[in-house]
Structure 1
């Protein structure tokens, strides 16, 4: 029977660094999925050396967690003793052995309280069952052949401190903090800025949507009022989006609504076609347009004038 465990995640660990789950390459490990005890390899040639406990199968990433299934070697007495303690809940932690490939001081990757560079790319070498870790995310990191073991009681100086790469005083002042601000205070302020930026982006998106809806409503009303034609809709929507609703309204106010000949009597707007009695009352320059746009009205006025229907 296998045991599903969380091997690693991107949380801050006790060394004030973190390993990005998305940057862990475990393809090579899948070809040799070794499971050790306390990161110890049996190469010392001594009587108390411990052989591998088994393998770790079915590696996958779920919700920013690297997960695997522990499979203990049932033919190894020591492995069975470890398995027994695991079953009893005495042992319950695993720790990945990772080769550091790339470190990053990118501020966007920092978490509040982080003081060392982020391990942005790494290679999984092995997974160990450990007795006690410095936190819930015990790690063993390797760099240039040296091991940085984050299990409790062990230390290392491979990961570079952020403060050696950044001018913390300048950053504090930029954040509106006193230059005496601690690293934790600075990182907490960075976290607050990032959260605020996220909220601002969301609000800006909502405002842009509302602005677009308002512009579209203005343009559609202008089409309904016959100030512009429907084929010019996108042009005026873009004008409003680029220049603002006030400029759009000013522009549309300068446009006179289009009117048909039947909207005029004697060339004056404001009267209806019903007020025409015969064709001769329609301005001469409007008759052809009236015949084309309102043939029924034209025919009625023609017959009133000449007593017969028009022949086209």
Structure 2
């Protein structure tokens, strides 16, 4: 037999003038024991089970699996297969009902069941009529005759979870800080005021977001200009130091990187390196007093030009100092 999917429930108003909200359905018990009955006759053995119980929109759907080893179930399955039986319905425990007009649909004369627990689902000859919907009273455990108005009224009147519209209004008055004498118009005015305030706040939020965006863009532009100015100044300072023979030209990129990392610290360090005399100034003319210029007073570049590196390396500390001044890092 091909899989047959049935609509067990939807939110339309049934022939008893009531309806049940799908969002309020508790299907846990039903999924654990998904029995299929015929006409909600729970004193008889099940004729099958339901699988793939699911909610789609406002409908509760399930796939029928008949016990075809049972003669009665096989007979019902045959009628379903041959399209003589097309409908199913669900029975439920009523957990909470409401008379609030917000739930009421055209043609609805009874309350709305806003919370309920599925009990079983049955194959029915006629849906949404007579036995097509079954409700049970949790207090007594008995099935309610929906054709008996007195029983229906008793069920809903005795339900402790029935939502009273007056209670809703009182709750709104408390939330809106209105006095007990406030009528529906006053409540509406208060709600409209809240909506107005919300709209004004949303407008203000948009304005503040725009202001923040503009300030951020201005700060980014300032930071960019500052960075570009520092880069230009770093180039000027480093190139000037090279011209003055304070540092070696080979160390130019290392110095520029130091400036990029910390402009202020690099500026102080570069400024602390004294200007060195030229080669001509470093070597005393023959026959004059004083001899050669001290290595400590020469730049690393001039020491190389004067071919005095070997002499410099004899003083390890001075060699490291001169190398660092020239290249921005210690010798390897």
Q: Which has the larger radius of gyration?
A: 2
TM-score, reference length from structure 2: 0.47
